[in-house]
Amino acid sequence: MLIFLDTETTGVEKSDKILSIALIAVDGDEVIIKSDLVNEGKKISPKASSINHITNEMIKGKPALEECETFKFLELNNLYDTTIISHNVNFDLGMLSSNSSLSWQGKIIDTLRCSKHLMPESEEFSLQYLRYELKLYKHESEKITPHEALSDSRVTKLLYESLLELAPKEQLEELSTKNVLMQKFEFGKYSGRYIEEISIIDRGYLEWMVSNIMDLDEDLRYSIEYYL
């Protein structure tokens, strides 16, 4: 079984909570779709609402994560031969781990990391950027709302199908656990410039980054340390 998963949260810290969870499960010819808003007892900030468009009023009276149907389905299919596919899968599984008792036992495919490995020439790797870069929108059969969990699950499914044209499933699984050697900065004062170049002209800045930014993206950390 393949499970295309997405979550929406109050933020990106470990203390943040899941607000929405959705999945598309594909088991042979059977397709199962589940989506829930959940209430883990944390107030949603205006900043979070501005991204995922989920408000405190919308989750009032909604079940806790472990009580919703989507989570129960995921828990039931937490099996070795089930594959979760997500864009930045470590974030989604990390949030599930910190918000519930679920510890994923199956396989994983990270479409974000696979895209970085297989399409290094791409300027960006966000799900919405790749949606337009790869013209995935031409294959959409449902209305897509960015940062809506079920919509993002649908786009992730299309992205996965596109990645299969570049590598088989087994290789995607392997790439999902392999650090990406990034060439350029995607943000900050050196955005768009080569990391190797900055290691020569501003080595101190890179050393400061790896020493002081505790939540630095693991692929960026790996790349900076490589060039240093």
Render pLDDT for 148-200 as a digit per residue (tens, 0 to 9).
Answer: 999 999 999 999 999 999 999 999 999 999 999 988 888 788 888 899 999 99
One domain for residues 111 and 208: no
One domain for residues 187 and 124: no
Tokens of 53: 């468009």
Does 86 score more than 80 pLDDT? yes
Number of domains in the chain: 2
Does 69 score more than 90 pLDDT? yes
Residue 88 contacts residue 7 (beta carbons within 8 Å): no
User: What is the per-residue pLDDT across 11-41, written as a single tens digit (0 to 9) for each?
Assistant: 877 788 999 999 999 999 999 999 999 999 9
One domain for residues 127 and 72: yes
Please compute the mean of the pLDDT values over residues 71-76 and round it to a whole number. 95
- Phi, psi at residue 54, to the nearest 5°? -105, 130
The confidence score (pLDDT) of residue 31 equals 96
- Residues present in the chain in total: 228
The confidence score (pLDDT) of residue 189 equals 85
Does 213 score more than 90 pLDDT? no
The confidence score (pLDDT) of residue 58 equals 92
One domain for residues 44 and 122: yes
Distances (CA, A) of 169 to 71, 104, 133: 25, 19, 22
User: What is the per-residue pLDDT across 110-129, written as a single tens digit (0 to 9) for each?
Assistant: 999 999 999 988 888 999 99
Q: Give me the CATH number covering residue 84.
A: 3.30.420.10
Does 79 score more than 90 pLDDT? yes
One domain for residues 89 and 58: yes
Distances (CA, A) of 69 to 38, 65, 193: 10, 9, 45
Average pLDDT, the chain: 92
One domain for residues 126 and 60: yes
One domain for residues 184 and 228: yes
What percent of the chain is predicted at pLDDT more than 90? 71
One domain for residues 185 and 134: no
SS3 80: coil
In single-letter form, the type of residue at position 178 comes to K
Tokens of 108: 């994983």
One domain for residues 9 and 118: yes
Residue 217's pLDDT band (cuts 50, 70, 90): confident
Q: Which of 135, 160, 175 is the last residue of a domain?
A: 175
- Domain residues for the domain of 223 are 179-228
One domain for residues 67 and 170: yes
One domain for residues 171 and 183: no
Does 214 score more than 90 pLDDT? no
Distances (CA, A) of 6 to 61, 77, 147, 199: 22, 16, 9, 36
One domain for residues 44 and 153: yes
The confidence score (pLDDT) of residue 141 equals 83
Tokens of 112: 């974000």
